[in-house]
């Protein structure tokens, strides 16, 4: 069953008198209980997409078209009072840097219980629920953690706390924006395991945003590949990473260090990612694509490449020929 549907979403960034399109007419769905990855280089529009769903865009950004449907409710036309009820209860978001998200002047337990209290739970019940969920999520010494201040915890533990804050209201969807990018390998694995546990035990869907394809491949069942504000490929994660159809996806996959490719050079994508101020009449990846032909600079197709598989390329699978 479809939980969230993004339809023809476009987001603009204002710089002076100009509004540049940073997210360009994208669409995707997330089903109930599903883990979907959104991957791509930094600056491609992943975080703007997430912030649009939450209606938390910075002042310089604005939604210039589209719909974001949570069930039958369009979040883009929902009033702020209703949005406050949706956030934390139906949809929550985990940000990249937990120390910037946690309040340094509040104990951890109070910050977790605040989510429940804002949605009508009595203070005592909320505090008891905090300890219960920390036990359930296998936090070490929950009674000590609830009394701790953020500065007393490691970065990895702070991010685990952010997941507890996101999960305590049993939301239908958690958006995790680069939740492991600032952590070492061991802590990254712990964060992925915790998200998997929340998904498995609470039935919470997850939109996992990352530039690390290896993490996305391990966690998600379906992947969306984003480039220059457009989703250029989507499909089952196993197929996306083992049989990429778009040259950009193939290049990203080739840049992942793998045991079986030890001793072989990693793929290097020539050129640089486009700026939000750059405009295209065709495929935005064409200037960097080794397979580009004349039509690539004038049109940007959408090709159905099989069941649950779409790619925006004239030559899908060309990298594997």
- How far from each other are the two terminal CA atoms of the chain, in whole angstroms? 36
Q: In what order do the strands lie in the sheet with 73-74?
A: 18-31, 2-15, 61-70, 73-74
**Interatomic CA distance for residues 44 and 17, integer angstroms:** 22
Q: What pLDDT does 185 receive? A: 82
Q: What pLDDT does 214 receive? A: 84
**How crowded is residue 156: how many other Cβ atoms within 10 Å of its Cβ?**
18
Low-confidence spans in the chain with pLDDT less than 50:
318-321
- Determine contact, residues 163/94, Cβ cutoff 8 Å: yes
The pTM score is 0.93
Catalogue all structural domains in the chain, each as residue range(s) with its CATH number: 2-100+172-186+196-320 (3.40.50.300)
Beta strands in the chain (DSSP E): 2-15, 18-31, 35-39, 61-70, 73-74, 91-94, 173-177, 205-210, 222-227, 230-236, 303-304, 310-311
**Interatomic CA distance for residues 200 and 153, integer angstroms:** 26
For 144-203, write each residue's pLDDT tens digit.
999 999 999 998 999 999 999 999 999 999 999 999 887 788 888 899 999 999 999 999
**Interatomic CA distance for residues 51 and 109, integer angstroms:** 26
- The residue among 281, 169, 233, 209 whose CA lies nearest residue 51 is 209
What are 209's strand-pairing partners?
Answer: 38, 177
What does each C-alpha distance from 133 to 8, 30, 113 come to in angstroms?
Answer: 37, 25, 11
Q: What pLDDT does 319 receive? A: 46
DSSP string, 220-286: -SEEEEEETTEEEEEEEHHHHHHS--SHHHHHHHHTS--GGGTTSPPP---S-PPPTT---SS-TTG
Tokens 């603009």 belong to: 12
The 3-state DSSP class for residue 189 equals helix
- Determine contact, residues 221/36, Cβ cutoff 8 Å: yes
């Amino acid at each position: 069953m479809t939980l969230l549907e993004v339809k023809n979403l476009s987001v603009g960034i204002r710089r002076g008198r100009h509004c540049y399109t940073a997210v360009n007419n994208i669409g995707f769905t997330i089903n109930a209980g599903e883990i979907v990855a959104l991957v791509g280089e930094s600056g491609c529009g992943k975080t703007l997409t997430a912030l649009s769903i939450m209606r938390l865009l910075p002042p310089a950004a604005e939604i210039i078209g589209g719909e974001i449907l949570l069930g039958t409710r369009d979040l883009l036309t929902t009033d702020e009072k209703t949005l406050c009820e949706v956030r934390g209860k139906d949809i929550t978001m985990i940000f990249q840097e937990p120390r910037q998200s946690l309040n340094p002047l509040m104990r951890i337990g109070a910050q977790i219980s605040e989510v429940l209290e804002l949605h009508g739970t009595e203070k005592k019940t909320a505090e008891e629920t905090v300890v219960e969920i920390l036990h359930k999520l296998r936090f070490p010494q929950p009674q000590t953690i609830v009394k701790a201040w953020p500065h007393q915890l490691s970065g990895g533990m702070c991010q685990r706390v952010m997941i507890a804050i996101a999960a305590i209201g049993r939301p239908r969807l958690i958006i995790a924006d680069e939740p492991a990018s600032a952590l070492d390998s061991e802590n990254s694995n712990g964060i992925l395991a915790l998200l998997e546990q929340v998904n498995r035990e609470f039935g919470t869907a997850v939109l996992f945003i990352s530039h690390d394809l290896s993490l996305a491949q391990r966690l998600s069942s379906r992947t969306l590949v984003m480039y220059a504000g457009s989703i250029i490929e989507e499909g089952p994660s196993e197929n996306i990473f083992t049989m990429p159809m778009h040259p950009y996806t193939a290049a990203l996959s080739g840049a992942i260090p793998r045991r079986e490719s030890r001793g072989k050079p990693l793929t290097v994508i020539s050129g640089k990612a486009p700026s939000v101020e750059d405009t295209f009449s065709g495929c935005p990846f064409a200037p960097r694509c080794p397979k580009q032909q004349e039509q690539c600079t004038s049109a940007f197709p959408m090709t159905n490449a099989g069941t649950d598989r779409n790619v925006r390329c004239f030559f899908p699978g060309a990298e594997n020929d």
